Amino acid sequence: MTHYDYIVIGAGSAGCVVANRLTEDPETTVLLLEAGNPDTKPEIQIPADCLKLLGSEVDWGYFSEPEPYLNDRKIFCSRGKVLGGTSSINGMLYVRGNPHDYDHWQELGNPGWSSQDVLPYFKKSEHQQRGADAYHGVDGELSVTDLIAPTVISQRFIDAAMALGYDYNPDFNGMQQSGVGPYQFNIKDGKRHSTAAAFLVPIQRRPNLTVITGALVTRLLFEGTRAVGVEYLHSGMLHQVRVNREVILSAGAFDSPKLLMLSGIGDATHLQSLGISVVVDLPGVGQNLQDHVVVSVVYQATQNLHFASTSSIGEAGLFLHSEGNLEAIPDLQFFCGPIQFLPPGYTPSDFGFTGAVTLNRLRNIGSVSLRSPDPKDTPVIRLNCLQSEADVQKLVAAIKLMRQLFQNSAFDEFRGAEIAPGADVTNDKALVAYIRDTGSTFWHSVGTCKMGTDPMAVVDPELRVHRVEGLRVVDASIMPTITTGNPNAPTIMIGEKAADLIKVVD
């Protein structure tokens, strides 16, 4: 049977980073297994085409169970199924989150994860177009750039927010997060710069790295409570491969807990009900699912906004606290872009623009569990979106603010009729109905294998699975709480830090 020093499961935002860093040592062998195919679909490389990737063959295309607080709708849960994972199908926004996010992780019992601890790992990956400073690096593999040709609508959004008194912030990843300004993106030379492009392509000829696509891992192999290998399905045949040092699970917030449970690590009662032999009873596996809830305000545009192929769906943004406290950590994130991000049932116009608002700090906690012992079966996803009425009221206020921004004179020459929610949706009751009828997540799922030392933690601060040897989880599922913003950049950081933690053991 073939042996590797490390087996990395999932070539996504974290897995590609780990594979790159571990194979820097030519004596270290790494097998990288990816369930999806190579990232050859043309739309992947075209930033403006990212919405065309949703639900395609490069997306797992999961759905939640009927959501009780969203009128029993099943919510689409996008996850990349391709080299680069979700970094190959997302909106490419580079948002690190708020320093408080990481200080809070440390306060929860995770030493080494404070904002000062993780900043060097953000900088390590980054090739910042604007140059190096205290917050940014230029020697990394990952391109972080301004848009080549932003549309005029994004500047008008910035103008409108400043007219309402919000401070201009040129860098959401710098000294402070609050304020209005342009987003930066993982785009290079006008093309998407996924972790596959940034971290795998440059090392694809390393003889100590083996990458297998179309490989669905069906279970982890154990001797006692030590991970010794994996079993995977490839081209209709089952294969087993052994590991000398560690298995690194980087399959994401849905599939990492799914694979742990399929392999006997999880809540014993749940596993036994499905006839799965329990290796370790860890009740936190699959719990603590968190995501950002999003609603949209969409207007017709009176003219062509000339949306360039090198752009993305959210060009400019605003971070603020819902109660107007400038010193508080932002709990709302706004996006403005020259596209029509419409809920189902609304008719698009020839041209339009969208303001999307995301609730960054919300009270709902969901879960992931097994539907059956069949590895090909989809996981059971329960988001519990908007179970808190206070969260709904924050979104009501956010829609009102978005409308206020779009009604500012900065938009006068571009603003047509409001498509969604629509001019007739005015009072709070109608806005609440709109939110529960159309609210979704922004596909920012995290937290289901959370890091910590409490009874519901799955991994320790070194990302080792509790009470198991030779197994770590390295992806967004280890976040104990969701970050303030898009979680792709934090997931890349997790991959960087994990690689160093693994090397220390060596």
Q: Is residue 164 situated within a structural domain?
A: yes
Q: Is residue 188 situated within a structural domain?
A: no
Distances in whole angstroms, Cα of residue 412 to Cα of each of 160, 306, 364, 419, 500: 11, 17, 38, 16, 52
pLDDT computed for residue 344 by the predictor: 86
* One domain for residues 75 and 160: no
Distance in angstroms between the alpha carbons of the first and the last residue of the chain: 23
* One domain for residues 280 and 224: yes
How many domains are there within the chain?
2
**472 has which bridge partners?**
248, 464
Q: Is 234 labeled as catalytic in the residue annotation?
A: no
Half-sphere exposure of 361 (CA within 13 A, CB side): 16
> Does the pLDDT at position 328 exceed 90?
no
Half-sphere exposure of 164 (CA within 13 A, CB side): 21
Here the CATH number for the domain that contains residue 400 is: 3.30.410.40
* One domain for residues 396 and 451: no
In this structure, what token pair is assigned to residue 410?
């900065």
Mean pLDDT within 259-271: 98
* One domain for residues 244 and 338: no
Mean pLDDT within 482-496: 98
Residue ending a domain, choose from 422, 438, 454: 438
pLDDT computed for residue 489 by the predictor: 98
pLDDT computed for residue 504 by the predictor: 81
Are 366 and 444 within 8 A, CB to CB?
no
> Does the pLDDT at position 325 exceed 80?
no
Which positions ≥6 away from 82 have C-beta within 8 Å?
34, 36, 37, 38, 39, 41, 44, 58, 88, 89, 196
Mean pLDDT within 140-154: 96
For the stretch 213-261, pLDDT in tens is: 999 999 999 999 999 999 999 999 999 999 999 999 999 999 999 999 9
| 3-state SS assignment for residue 344 | coil
| 3-state SS assignment for residue 495 | helix
Check the CA dihedral 436-438-441-442 and report its sign.
negative
* One domain for residues 417 and 306: yes
Q: Is residue 234 situated within a structural domain?
A: yes
pLDDT-based confidence at residue 506 (cuts at 50, 70, 90): low
pLDDT-based confidence at residue 430 (cuts at 50, 70, 90): very high
* One domain for residues 330 and 474: no
Q: Is residue 87 situated within a structural domain?
A: yes
Q: Is residue 396 situated within a structural domain?
A: yes
* One domain for residues 66 and 2: yes
Mean pLDDT within 33-60: 96
Q: Is residue 419 situated within a structural domain?
A: yes
For the stretch 338-354, pLDDT in tens is: 999 998 889 999 999 99
**451 has which bridge partners?**
459
In this structure, what token pair is assigned to residue 476?
């967004």
For the stretch 66-97, pLDDT in tens is: 999 999 999 999 999 999 999 999 999 999 99
Q: CA-CA distance, 374 to 38, in Å (whole number)?
A: 25
* One domain for residues 467 and 486: yes
Q: Is residue 255 situated within a structural domain?
A: yes
Q: Domain range holding 350?
A: 147-183+293-361+387-438
* One domain for residues 11 and 98: yes
* One domain for residues 297 and 226: no
Residue ending a domain, choose from 396, 422, 438: 438
Considering 104, 193, 292, 444, which one is annotated as catalytic?
Answer: 444
Here the CATH number for the domain that contains residue 258 is: 3.50.50.60
Q: Say what percent of the chain tops pLDDT 90.
A: 94
Residue with tokens 């879960």: 367
* One domain for residues 227 and 330: no
Residue with tokens 């739309």: 43
Q: Is residue 366 situated within a structural domain?
A: no
* One domain for residues 214 and 108: yes
> Does the pLDDT at position 174 exceed 70?
yes
For the stretch 96-123, pLDDT in tens is: 999 999 999 999 999 999 999 999 999 9
Mean pLDDT for the chain overall: 96
pLDDT computed for residue 326 by the predictor: 62
